[in-house]
């Protein structure tokens, strides 16, 4: 029975049904899900490239500075907020209604990421299927490439550049980009890729059909198998001629690069890219934790594992690229590439030179597939949790929930068809460049400021201590460090990163030899601006719903809703085993005290 009262003892409203919320089957499911979400394709194809491009081992200095003072504090903030609120990216902002737009902005970013990220998985499917051919269709041993490999290259009539069979396979057979003139002429859908994209969305749908109960089991395979492959690749690479040359190229420090602002900007962007901060996935996954889960411990484990994986992946990549450079008699810099070019051009070419190339290719693309699936789980979880929290009746009927998930995946598939046309790579690059840059920094900056100064940094730290019921002494000491970061260091570094990211809008965007037109860049700016403008739009909505002067409206809009404390008090109580039997089939119970008839702590001092 829910007892309700107000200061004037008004009649109690009709009780509403409290829908039980799922929880992870065990702490390892949550840890593996978060590790799988954070350890993605960027750890394999982005970090090693950034490391060698920005001074080798010197890049680790700005990387770890940004990690310790920005990445880890924001990671803990997002996990703690989701676990304490037991809600998704939108509903959790009951703690500060003024900033509800942060959650909606996260939803926009997650939507854009899901839109293009599954296209990468579709490419991976295509290469995985092609890897079962012997010889590999992009190798010089293939009959189709017999006339191209006299000197290992062939001419491109449009650019005059010498292309390898791997580049021709990627640009002509996979992408079909040679048949497109640019953004304005995407051309027809490439149906082999469209079928791969459909298969990828079907896999996502089936794995998420039963929520975290199904995806939590899948990660036991998808989150661990990539580590097995990386270890095998490192061991294999260590036995190859030229591998030490590649590793030396990867790590040799160039101290002069520290003075370059681009190095620091790359370090900041890699932290956001690899940890998945600010897109709602972490917050949503943490919302299914038990109330007393130790989020500080989980943060340290996950962030350490993620960064160690990035560094370790560099040895797997550059040892084999070093072998390819040695075999071709060229410097490593000529065979290294970034982004899709590394995963789908440079590295497959290197694998084709190894004995048993078909086996190594299957292993590599199977690893990429699982890395991509795990990351997409997190992003999709952010979207579905946000919607299900706003429309909780969908949780009651498994059929309705399955229909919603199916409709969501199908809509993403239809929108993703643009990215598997002949010119789809141009749209892919545009969305990838602008969806997670400027807007994501703004979202995380306001999240940090909102929690630290509106909700209250002391209150937030106390919330964390309340969750960690048996807090070891070290937890309290570490929390002082995070407190200093949230108030000073993190906002400052985010502001610096924002300033540096603005420079991206002043430089030309290109893919290969294609330079994006001005209207294309303007469209990209609009994509990024749409995400962060949600904060302003919903802040205006929140203020307009209040009464009084503008100052009074603002003060009211930053106060947590009453249900914020009530819900979490009962979640905490429900975490105790002796309370479980009382919570199975009934709504939560609130026992009124004198405090329920007085102003809450955060209301005191704000009333006239």
Bind-site residues for Na(+): 36, 39, 43, 274, 306, 371, 374
Task: Name beta bridge partners: 514.
Answer: 511
Contact 524, 57 (CB under 8 A): no
Dist. CA 302–CA 37, nearest whole Å = 10
- The angle subtended at Cα 88 by Cα 85 and Cα 93, nearest 5°, is 60
DSSP code string of 330-371: S-GGGT---THHIIIIIHHHHHHTSTTHHHHHHHHHHHHHHH
CA atoms within 13 A on the CB side of 412: 30
Dist. CA 476–CA 464, nearest whole Å = 10
Structure tokens at 39: 């350890």
Task: Name beta bridge partners: 590.
Answer: 2
Contact 385, 287 (CB under 8 A): yes
- SS3 for 157? coil
Q: Residue 135, preceding bond cis, omega within 30 degrees?
A: yes
- Find the length of the chain: 608
Number of H helices, E strands in the chain: 27, 4
Sign (positive/negative) of CA torsion 302, 306, 311, 317?
A: positive
| 590: exposed, middle or buried (Cβ count in 10 Å: 0-12, 13-18, 19+) | middle
Annotated binding site: 36, 39, 43, 274, 306, 371, 374
């Amino acid at each position: 029975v829910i007892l309700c009262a107000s200061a004037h003892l008004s009649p109690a409203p009709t009780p509403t049904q409290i829908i039980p919320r799922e929880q992870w089957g065990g702490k390892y499911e949550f840890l593996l899900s978060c590790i799988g979400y954070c350890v993605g394709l960027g750890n394999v194809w982005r970090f090693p490239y950034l490391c060698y491009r920005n001074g080798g081992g010197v890049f680790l200095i700005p990387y770890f500075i940004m990690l310790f003072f920005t990445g880890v504090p924001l990671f803990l903030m997002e996990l703690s907020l989701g676990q304490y609120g037991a809600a998704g990216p939108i509903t959790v902002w009951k703690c500060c209604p003024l900033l509800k737009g942060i959650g909606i902005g996260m939803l926009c970013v997650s939507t854009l990421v899901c839109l293009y990220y599954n296209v990468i998985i579709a490419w991976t499917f295509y290469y995985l299927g092609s890897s079962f051919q012997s010889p590999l269709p992009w190798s010089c041993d293939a009959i189709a490439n017999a006339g191209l490999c006299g000197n290992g290259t062939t001419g491109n009539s449009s650019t005059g550049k010498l292309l390898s069979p791997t580049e021709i396979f990627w640009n002509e057979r996979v992408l079909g980009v040679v048949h497109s003139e640019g953004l304005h002429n995407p051309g027809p859908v490439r149906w082999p890729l469209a079928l791969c994209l459909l298969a990828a969305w079907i896999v996502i749908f089936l794995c998420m059909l039963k929520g975290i109960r199904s995806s939590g089991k899948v990660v036991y395979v998808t989150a661990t198998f990539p580590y097995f492959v990386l270890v095998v690749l490192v061991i294999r690479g260590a036995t190859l001629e030229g591998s030490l040359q590649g590793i030396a190229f990867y790590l040799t420090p160039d101290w002069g690069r520290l003075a370059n602002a681009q190095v620091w900007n790359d370090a900041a962007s890699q932290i956001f890219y690899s940890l998945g901060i600010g897109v709602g996935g972490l917050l949503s996954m943490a919302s299914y934790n038990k109330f007393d889960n130790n989020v500080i411990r989980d943060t340290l484990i996950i962030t350490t594992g993620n960064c160690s994986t990035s560094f370790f992946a560099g040895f797997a990549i550059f040892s084999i690229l070093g072998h390819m450079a040695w075999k071709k008699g060229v410097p490593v810099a000529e065979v290294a590439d970034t982004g899709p070019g590394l995963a789908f051009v440079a590295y497959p070419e290197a694998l084709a030179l190894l004995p048993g190339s078909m086996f190594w290719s299957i292993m590599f693309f199977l690893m990429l597939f699982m890395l991509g699936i795990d990351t997409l789980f997190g992003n999709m979880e952010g979207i579905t949790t946000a919607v299900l929290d706003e429309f909780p009746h969908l949780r009651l009927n498994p059929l309705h929930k399955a229909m919603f998930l199916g409709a969501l995946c199908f809509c993403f598939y239809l929108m993703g068809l643009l990215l598997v046309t002949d010119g789809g790579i141009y749209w892919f690059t545009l969305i990838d460049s602008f969806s997670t840059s400027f807007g994501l920094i703004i979202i995380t900056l306001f999240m940090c400021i909102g929690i630290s100064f509106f909700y209250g940094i002391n209150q937030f730290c106390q919330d964390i201590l309340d969750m960690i019921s048996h807090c070891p002494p070290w937890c309290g000491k570490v929390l002082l460090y995070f407190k200093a970061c949230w108030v000073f260091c993190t906002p400052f570094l985010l502001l610096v990163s924002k300033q540096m990211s603005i420079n991206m809008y002043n430089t030309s965007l290109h893919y290969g030899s294609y330079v994006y037109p001005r209207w294309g860049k303007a469209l990209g700016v609009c994509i990024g601006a749409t995400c962060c403008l949600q904060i302003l739009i919903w802040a205006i909505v929140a203020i307009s719903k209040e009464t009084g002067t503008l100052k009074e409206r603002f003060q009211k809009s930053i106060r947590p809703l009453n249900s914020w404390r009530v819900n979490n008090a009962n979640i905490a109580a429900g975490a105790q085993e002796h309370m479980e039997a009382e919570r199975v089939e009934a709504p939560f119970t609130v026992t009124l005290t004198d405090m329920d008839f007085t102003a809450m702590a955060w209301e005191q001092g704000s009333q006239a």
